[in-house]
Amino acid sequence: MRLSRWKKLGLAGGALLILSASSGRAQSGNTDESKRKVKTRVSPVYPELAKRMNIGGKVKIEVVISPDGRVKTTRVVGGHPLLVQVCQDAVREWKFAPAPEETTQIVEFEFRASE
């Protein structure tokens, strides 16, 4: 049985994903600390389907923060579709330090698939 070029690429990509995944399933949310400090942080829940499929990686969310520290809007900058929604939901619950004006920054989450 011969595999098509796309199937070979898909299998190779899947193998790389599995090999590059670290043990555990910890996730973290990082921001550029030179910008607004996070006062209250909510961690995203690793989706069960993503766990079963051993999907990991980084998710980047652009966050617009109002002067009072509440998250005004979010926009996905990058990440696996199975992971982005939980990250958006979590970051919407974050509270930042007050500032004189509205600011925008990127928040990055990292998911590590189990081996």
Query: Maximum Cα–Cα distance for the chain, whole Å?
Result: 65
- Looking at the structure of the chain, the number of domains it has is 1
Q: In tens digits, what is the pLDDT along the chain, a chain of 115 residues?
A: 454 554 444 444 443 333 333 323 334 455 444 588 999 999 999 999 999 999 999 999 999 999 999 999 999 999 999 999 999 999 999 999 999 999 999 999 999 876 5
CA angle 67, 83, 8 (to 5 degrees): 140
Neighbour tally for 21: CB within 10 Å: 18
**Chain length of the chain:** 115
Domain extent for 32: 5-111
What's the confidence (pLDDT) of residue 44?
Answer: 95
What is the model's pTM? 0.68
102 close to 26: Cβ distance less than 8 angstroms: no
CATH number (domain holding residue 71): 3.30.2420.10
Enter the DSSP assignment of 101.
S
